[in-house]
Every structure is written in structure tokens, then in C-alpha cells.
Amino acid sequence: MSSTFKKIKIQADKSKNQTFKTFEAEVRLLNLTERAELNDKIMDQTGKQNFSFWLQIIKDCTRYTDEELNGYSLDELVAFSSAIIEDVNKKKLKK
């Protein structure tokens, strides 16, 4: 399990009528195996993508406690997990 973190920005999706304020969150940098496991979970057609599904993505990729996460709205948590997925899968720049 990697232990390097970075900050990402979570923004409301205006097309979905989300109105929360943009916030930043610290997420783990995933290695290739962790990235594959996350994408397998997302692509699994037999799994339900319910609230627990989205919440588990955040728990797997951050150090946030249940108490901290409980302070966020449903829209914020879904946007948070979506931002994690997007960040993990964006094109990596070659050095």
C-alpha cells in the first residue's frame, strides 16, 4: 500500500444541479495494482454502485475517518469518489 498523498479539487457538477462549494481533499497516489483493483471494482457489472460503493472508494484512497466523511453531503461524497476515479485514470505525463 502506497503512502504518498496529493491534493485534488472536488467541484460541484452544475449540470446535475449540485451547489456545494469547491473543496480540496488529500488522496493516496495508487500504484498500478491498486489502480487495477479500483478499476475492476468500478467495471464489475455484477456489483451495485450504491452509496456504500462510492463511500468505500473514498475510504480506500484517503485517510478520512467515518466522522469526517459523515460531515459531507451525498452530492459531495459522490463527486469526491468520482474525482478520485478521474484523477487515478487521467493520462500520465511522461518525464
Residue 95 lies in a domain: no
Query: What total number of domains does the chain contain?
Result: 1
Taking only the tens place, the pLDDT of each residue in 20-43 is 999 999 999 999 999 999 999 888
User: Residue 64: is its pLDDT beyond 60?
Assistant: yes
Q: Which domain holds residue 17?
A: 5-89
Residue 42 lies in a domain: yes
Residue 27 lies in a domain: yes
Please give the Cα distance from 21 to 2 (Å, whole number).
29
Please give the Cα distance from 75 to 73 (Å, whole number).
5
pLDDT at position 69, please? Answer: 96
Residue 94 lies in a domain: no
All three cell numbers of 6: 496529493
| Range of weakest confidence among 9-13, 30-34, 74-78, 91-95 | 91-95
Rg from Cα positions in the chain: 13
Please give the Cα distance from 63 to 76 (Å, whole number).
17
Mean pLDDT for the chain? Answer: 90
pLDDT at position 95, please? Answer: 60
